[in-house]
Structure 1
Amino acid sequence: MYEYAIAWEWLSFAARWFHVITAIAWIGSSFYFIALDLGLVKRPNMPAGVYGEEWQVHGGGFYHVQKYLVAPTQMPQHLTWFKYESYFTWLSGFLMLCIVYYGGADLFLIDHSVMDLAPWQAILISLASLALGWIFYDQLCRSPVGRNTWGLMIVLYIALVAMAWGYTQVFTGRAAFLHLGAFTATIMSANVFMIIIPNQKIVVADLIAGRTPDPKYGMIAKQRSLHNNYLTLPVIFFMLSNHYPLAFATAFNWVIAALVFLMGVTIRHWFNTTHARKGRPTWTWLATMLIFILIMWLSTVPKILTGATETSMAPATSTMQRRFAANIHFGAARDVVQSRCSMCHAAEPAYDGVNFAPKSVKLETDAEIAAHAREIYLQAGRSHAMPPGNVTSISAEERKALVAWYESTISE
């Protein structure tokens, strides 16, 4: 049975790799077309219906790109669609959500000190939030508010901040940030799947039938594409945040999330303005740095003001965690962890230069050690990933003790 943990870890790695590959493809093409669209130049004597054109050079060749504001007069023989990058990015991300957070709900999704949930309840809340979030956003875009693009984005920002707060009241800090990224990415991918591509298909069908396409479909798709443009960078931040507990495992994590969305706007504003040849608003980088410094301060301010430390994880509650704590080899494994790992993985790390428990993982109590049994087994038992560089000189015999503890418990 212990082989299951290794196979599951490799499945997680494969899904993560797949997700990164598809995300690069989606974000890369999205950023390219945003830059292309903003850089279009109107020149005299362009073909009928052409809004603008751009000359580009890459890979030793020149490219001449023209954009039709609505559609060309007739359907071209070959048309490349940019949609599967978005679909597979979302599908691979959802697969990651299932593997890591649904499969490991007791450890990564649920914090009983935040909300005492059964795994099925937490998973149901997760799924419902993603689905209802898209419905709310879509109806908001279709409402009178949606006629004002910037007014709509302000309302959307307020909704995202509310979701950031809400997620932190339900899940672990790590899961809250991940879900905020998934919530936003679901809106972005659904924009492509439910609005942008269907509208483009209507235009194509009109061309094939010899009808003049209605420009409203392009305008609607353009608005959704603008939202995706400004939401991309925050999504990347939230997806990377699981490696940095200073972002998610703090008292003001939802405020940090709100500020991350603002940084996404300031950074994209610089690129969008530059690509549109409207100058280089360097103030946006100053604003971004100031926001980031504020985020850094918020990550430690409770400790600075009150001297309070983060509370330890709630006692082990799952049947499997109790089995790990009761195993005959647990005593030996606990001795290894406390002597080789807990100087860093503690509420108050004793290792020089380590100020916060890495990834917010604490290994000071029996409950905490039992809760992280699989990670200990994989990181310090079956591999030598931990301790980093073997700085605490863990021996081969001690690693065998960790392996014996995990594998014997799983085999029971």
Structure 2
Amino acid sequence: MDIYLLDWANLLLRWLHVITVIAWIGASFYFVWLDNHLTKPQAEDLKAKGVDGELWAVHGGGFYNPQKYMVAPANLPQDLHWFYWESYWTWMSGFALFIVLYLCNAGQMLIDPRVFAWGAAWQAVAAALVFLVMGTVVYEAACHTLGRTADGGVGNDGRVLAAVAVFVVAASWLACHLFAGRAAFLIVGATLATMMTGNVAHWIIPGQKKVIAQMRAGQKPDPVYGQRGKQRSVHNTWFGLPVLIAMLSNHYGMLYQHAQNWIVLCVLMAAGVAVRVFFVKRHKGVNSWGAVALALALLAGLIVWMAPRPQASGAVAPVTLDQVQAVAGQRCLACHAGELAQKGVRLDNAEALVAHKAQIYQQVIVQRAMPLNNATGMTDEERALVGRWAQQ
């Protein structure tokens, strides 16, 4: 695809993806908050209608009174609003972006020969897709074996989430040993996101439709559908922040280029879970400061552990701009020369190198994100030389 059109596809798909993520995660957070703030109705007419919880709220100059029925109202209205397209479009736009950026450009974005030498690009593409499928397979197996009671009801969520945590750690390790670091982070996040959308598409929405069909047929709704839908919705609550940090962190080379990048990813996702624990408990009126302390401790430990170590100083000759231009000519100009330079960053002349000195230092030395997946084979000695020049 022409680089100009590819940039437009990247921008528009990313924009769509961010919009739908905001809508989906926002709705998910709101309903968890709502569930935790509902109070038992006091009015007899609400009790008679089967209302199990209600809330009074004010927003935007108006008053709202949402009410929740334990299974369903006695008289089901014809006009019902469904919350599922936010989830579906989030996954579809994300997968489309994954295809455009990674699968169609596997040789550059998915494969890093320093990590694993794939025989062909299609093999890496197939393996990436297997991750998405296997995540759902493992998760569903955990829900069916660990998350249900003998009579088919909802069982112990703690065991299911523990099994998912073990899988995520294993998947992070494997992905970071098979794919380029940036791609590995994204694949792990997309695997969790696929579980989340699967919950909406195969359990939450179908369960609600079965309840509605039973009611319209004059039958008593089976509460198990609501219980299972609620279970999967709660799971999605815990998955949300780990997915977001996995997606955001793959934009920071210092994270995915680390020698133990799979540990970095796991710690970041664990911090996300701890943050979510705090907010869920806060909605119930409990300030879980231990969860906040845990999140901060995980992040602080990660920052200290990953901090660059000071290099031994010694008498070295100053680096000339000609030396840097020679390195840039070999390692950078494939993507950063001429009018079509990536991100508009041209490094094909002395003035441009000096103008972008700070960016070069950040991307090449600190984050080691460039060259992308070190496709042009920049050596550590060349990085050190560029680093000295940038700090002169």
Confirm or deny a common fold (TM above 0.5): yes
In 2, Cα distance between equivalents of 1:359 and 1:66: 53
The range that moved more, 47-56 or 139-148, is: 139-148
Distance change >3 Å, CA 66–CA 166, structure 1 → 2: same
Superposed displacement of residue 262, structure 1: 1.8
Correspondence for 2:34: 36
Write out the 4+ residue segments of structure 1 that deviate beyond 4 Å after TM superposition.
303-307, 341-346
Could you say if the C-alpha distance between residues 337 and 11 of structure 1 is closer, same or farther in structure 2, counting changes exceeding 3 Å?
farther
Give the distance between the partners of 2:196 and 2:368, measured in 1 at CA: 28
Letter in 1 for 2:123: Q
- Which of the numbers 367, 375, 389 marks the counterpart of 2:376? 367
Match of 2:223 in 1: 215
C-alpha change, 1:344 and 1:248, in structure 2 (3 Å) is same
1:213 Cα deviation after fit: 0.7
- 1:337–1:280 Cα change, 3 Å: farther
Question: What does residue 91 of structure 1 align with?
Answer: 92
Note the alpha carbon deviations across 1:314-344, whole angstroms, 9 max, x for none: xxxxxxx9xx69x9xxxxx986389818966
Where 1:62 maps in the other structure, the secondary structure is strand
- 2:270 equivalent to 1:262: yes
Superposed, 1:325-404 pairs within 5 Å as 336=349, 340=353, 349=361, 356-358=365-367, 360-362=369-371, 367-368=376-377
Alignment-mate amino acid for residue 293 of structure 2? L
The aligned counterpart of 2:291 is 284
Shift of 1:264: 1.9
Residue 319 (structure 2) aligns with: none
- How many residue pairs end up in the alignment? 340
Q: 1:227 pairs with 227, 235, 256, which one?
A: 235
- Which letter does structure 1 place at the counterpart of 2:288? P
1:185-231 alpha-carbon deviations (Å, 9 max, x no partner)? 00001110011100111001011111111111111111111110011
Q: Distance in 2 between matches of 1:338 and 1:245?
A: 26
Does the Cα contact within 8 Å between 1:191 and 1:224 map onto a contact in 2? yes
How has the CA–CA distance of structure 1 residues 202 and 305 changed in structure 2, closer, same or farther, with 3 Å as cutoff?
Answer: farther
Q: What are the superposed Cα offsets for residues 333-359 of structure 1, whole Å, 9 maximum, x if unpaired?
A: 98638981896687xx4xxx7883456
Q: Secondary structure at the match of 1:36?
A: helix
For the structure 1 residues 156 and 112, does the alpha-carbon distance in structure 2 shift closer, same or farther, using more than 3 Å as the test? same
Match of 1:16 in 2: 14
Q: What displacement does 1:119 show?
A: 1.3
How many angstroms does 1:90 deviate by? Answer: 0.1
Question: Is the 8 Å Cα contact of residues 253 and 299 (structure 1) preserved in structure 2?
Answer: no
Counterpart mapping for 1:156-235 below 5 A: 156-235=164-243
CA distance in structure 1 between the aligned counterparts of 2:8 and 2:103, rounded to whole angstroms: 16
Distance in 2, matches of 1:306 and 1:90, equals 48
The residue that corresponds to 2:135 in the other structure is 133
Provide the TM-score with structure 2 as the length reference. 0.79
How far does the alpha carbon of each residue in 1:131-184 deviate from its partner, in whole angstroms, 9 at most, with x for none?
Answer: 121122112101145521112111111111111111001001100101111001
Query: Is the counterpart of residue 271 in structure 1 residue 279 in structure 2?
Result: yes
Q: 2:368 & 2:28 partners in 1: Cα distance? A: 31
1:72, 1:212 → 2: CA distance?
11
TM-aligned CA distance change 1:98 to 1:233, over 3 Å: same
> Does 1:109 pair with 2:110?
yes
Q: Supply the distance in 1 between the matched residues of 2:65 and 2:228 (Cα, whole angstroms).
A: 27
Matched, 1:155 2:163: yes
- Conserved 8 A contact 2:41-2:47: no
What amino acid does structure 2 have at the position aligned with 1:12?
N
In the alignment, residue 116 of structure 2 is paired with which amino acid?
A: M
1:225-249 Cα shifts (integer Å, max 9, x gaps): 1110011111111111122112211
Deviation at 1:77, TM superposition (A): 2.4
Residue 283 of structure 1 aligns with an amino acid whose one-letter code is G
Is the 2:254–2:366 contact (alpha carbons within 8 Å) kept by the matching residues of 1? Answer: no
Local SS of the residue matching 1:356: helix
CA contact (8 A) 1:164 1:258 kept: yes
Q: 1:16 to 1:366 in 2, by over 3 A?
A: closer
| 2:47 counterpart letter in structure 1 | P
Q: C-alpha offsets along residues 347-398 of structure 1, whole Å, 9 cap, x if unaligned?
A: xx4xxx78834561139x99358xxxxxxxxxxxxxxxxxxxxxx9xxxxxx
SS in 2 for 1:212: coil
Which letter does structure 2 place at the counterpart of 1:135? V
Offset of residue 34 of structure 1: 0.7
Relative distance call for 1:155 and 1:270 in structure 2 (3 A) is same
